[in-house]
Structure 1
Amino acid sequence: MASEADRSQDEVAELVGKLVTPEETDGAERRRLLGRLSRVLVDSAKKAKVAGPERGRWLADVFMNIAPRLPIRDAATLQRHHYGLTGEQLADDLVRTAAKGTMAVGAVGGALAAAQFAAPPLLLSAPAQLVAETLVVAAIEVKLLAELHEVYGVQVPGNGTQRATAFAVAWARQRGVNPLAPGSATLAIGAAAKTALRNRLMRTLGRHFTTLGPFFTGAVAGGTFNRVATRKLAQAVRADLRTRALPPA
């Protein structure tokens, strides 16, 4: 029988899974899902008695529970979902979609946090919205990174959890996975890899704190910052993957 902690982790993963495909949700549904996610995260953090430096470790642990459950599509599915596009055109389309996704989540998250910031009794709950936004943005970007590997034919070895870990750590380091590097699919055991992931998540969270302001500026800032960061990540990863891409068949 699943424990309460397991059910909470499952719900977080399910909510994030719905939010990483923003084209399937409208603004109202996105707000509802982000609101629900923030409440579940607050409950989870309270039960885990998270405080101080432990927050970064807790955030990384939550994300690593999400990563293996992200809906990563293979090359054939990507082509089917993107009107038969291949190669650089397919990669361009994936980046556009992901940037729109993180922009949409950032706009909603920034607006929610800014609205709470404007209401003093609710100020303490604002960071929960930003933690939820951080996890969703990270998930969208890791999904993008993993699918770009499919587009460029760079196969990452290992089982689902190992590959998810490799993609998450690559996201933290803002580059592609080198499948020929020793231990590329077992990075979960490395202290340096865990630290890189924790630091990247905390930097992303810190960026989202800049959206705490008047409602409109919070929404605009949240969306813009996320879109720029997603495009910057994609540019770095694609440059990396082009050096490892398989030649055309």
Structure 2
Amino acid sequence: MILSQCIHRLCGLYFWGYWANIIYIIGMIGYLIIDTISYMYLSLNAMFSYVIYLILAIIFVIDAILYTIDWYIYAVKLRKNKDQPIQYRSEFLACIFQHIGSIFYLIGALLPFNNIQLMKKLLFNLFGIISFLIESIFTLLGWIILFRRKFSKTNCTLQNSYIWAHTLNIIANLIYLCATILAYYFYRNDKITNSTIVLLLQIFGDIVYLIDAYLYHECWQQDKKEFDAATEQQNLNKFYLEKFDHQSKTNENK
């Protein structure tokens, strides 16, 4: 019974976050590949790139859902006291903006890649990346609040993997924001659809995102190890406590 509860708790805590990180990595590998191909072959088949970008947009909608479920599990469902106020509110706001951003990108991906719809496509992408930037800021803010509660001020913040993951996420969003603004500017003024500068910025942003995704996965692994160690220690303490109680009762019966 105890073992099943531990397994259930472990899955609840880490299952959704694990797959959210994995999908994040897969999605960014996909973006890096298609953006690199688009840079190498500027005359890439429009329908092919349309389908790939649409699939990637759907992947990140799913990713946003997984991250939200992960937030709900550790912030709401696993509260020690159900009357306790919900914590991690900054992360909840981050989840909202992540959903908004992924939906904007999905709408943009659904629009055909032609001269008529391209302006709308770029605008939806712009709204999407702004939402992702706000999401990353709220995520960093939530981590800072949690870090101050959990650790003393003497701990070196730069040694924590999360600070690098959150920072890289903001940097990648800023790179993509610059790329989207430039793409909008080039198309509105010069009718340029595949700017080399924009594509290079996107590729650079993809690389930063991919490193960021790997760091988030590393953070997940560290959290899981800490949880496993804490759970093992709790089980040992409970075992020795039960053993002590049993011995005490045996001595009393004698």
TM-score surpassing 0.5?
A: no
> Which fold has the larger relative contact order, with Cα–Cα distance below 8 Å and residues 6 or more apart in sequence?
1
Q: TM-score by structure 1 length? A: 0.32
Q: TM-score by structure 2 length? A: 0.31
